[in-house]
């Protein structure tokens, strides 16, 4: 099955569900802790069965591999194209949705990795029905955890950071706080790149701090990592004084 979704005149995503062996390397970039928890929920199942050159006969395939493994939520991938001739909302495109492990890997392996996203553009993965914008009813009272990465890490590490955050989020690894996660955004910028996790309500301190600690633990291998939480209201107003509600 092949799906091509046009994003703009310059950009398109090729979503092809047949995964070649050369692509499998990207999947192994998740950190050991996140990878282990993901595997515990069968989120890495059917890896061997994706090779179109496999000699395994259908009679040898486990019945478990004949079914897609559902995620707890349906998620949508959004792409923000930095086109100055269009409004911000016109540049924000919902590309596709996925609700199973298999559909996620199908998508992930056939879009550009984070390191190849053009400067000024964004990837967003949000629960289906929630738009990656402050004005959405699920976001208007909320905020975000922000992690900033130096530009020099883009070519070597940003793919790993972004994938680890995605796996943590769609795999339900925020545990009892998973319902408080709206989505995640990757911003590619000139001065630094950012990854953020959005939550719906800035008044839920316990849940916000729980999400932040889980996120920091997942990315504990990153040197000198700092997480800061801000409300969307202060981000919109670009308030500098007392901008961050929490820091880890």
Residue 12 or 150, more confident:
150
Measured in whole angstroms, the distance separating CA 209 from the mean position of its chain's CA atoms is 20
Distances (CA, A) of 57 to 52, 54, 62, 65, 165: 12, 8, 11, 13, 35
**pLDDT band at 151, cuts 50/70/90?**
confident
Residue 120 φ/ψ, nearest 5 degrees: 95, -5
How does DSSP classify residue 179?
Answer: G
Domains present along the chain, CATH in parentheses: 2-247 (3.30.760.10)
| Tens digit of each residue's pLDDT (9 = 90 or more) over 88-137 | 999 999 999 999 999 999 999 999 999 999 999 999 999 999 999 999 99
Return the pLDDT at 86. 94
Collapsing DSSP to helix, strand or coil, 24 comes out as helix
E strand segments, the chain: 2-6, 12-16, 70-80, 92-100, 122-127, 143-150, 183-187, 192-199, 228-231, 244-247
Asked if pLDDT for residue 193 goes beyond 90, the answer is yes
Q: How far apart are CA 177 and CA 198, in angstroms?
A: 12
How far is 235 from 233, CA to CA, in rounded Å? 5
Q: How far apart are CA 198 and CA 208, in angstroms?
A: 10
* Phi/psi at 170 (5° precision): -75, -20
SS3 57: coil
pLDDT tens digit sequence for 202-227: 999 999 999 999 999 999 999 889 99
pLDDT for 178: 96
Is 115 in contact with 155 (CB distance < 8 Å)? yes
Distance of CA 19 to the CA centre of its chain: 20
Query: By mean pLDDT, which of 18-27, 81-90, 139-148, 182-191 is the weakest?
Result: 18-27
């Amino acid at each position: 099955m092949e799906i091509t979704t046009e994003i703009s005149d310059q950009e398109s995503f090729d979503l092809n569900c047949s995964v070649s062996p050369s692509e499998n390397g990207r999947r192994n970039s998740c950190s050991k802790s996140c990878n282990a928890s993901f595997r515990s929920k069968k989120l890495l199942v059917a890896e061997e069965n994706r090779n179109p050159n496999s000699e395994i006969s259908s009679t040898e395939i486990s019945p478990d591999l004949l079914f897609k493994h559902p995620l707890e939520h349906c998620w949508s991938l959004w792409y923000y194209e930095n086109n100055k001739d269009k409004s911000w909302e016109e540049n924000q495109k919902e590309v596709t949705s996925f609700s199973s492990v298999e559909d996620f890997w199908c998508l992930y392996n056939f879009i550009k990795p984070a390191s190849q996203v053009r400067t000024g553009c964004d990837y967003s993965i949000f629960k289906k029905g929630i738009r990656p914008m402050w004005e959405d009813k699920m976001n208007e009272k909320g905020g975000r955890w922000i992690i900033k990465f130096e530009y020099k890490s883009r070519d070597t590490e940003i793919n790993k950071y972004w994938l680890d955050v995605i796996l943590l989020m769609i795999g339900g690894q925020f545990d009892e706080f998973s319902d408080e996660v709206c989505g995640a955004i990757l911003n590619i910028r000139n001065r630094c790149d950012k990854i953020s996790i959005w939550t719906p309500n800035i008044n839920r301190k316990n849940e916000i701090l729980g999400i932040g600690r889980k996120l920091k633990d997942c990315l504990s291998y990153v040197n000198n990592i700092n997480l800061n939480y801000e409300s969307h209201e202060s981000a919109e107003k670009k308030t500098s004084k007392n901008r961050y509600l929490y820091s880890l």
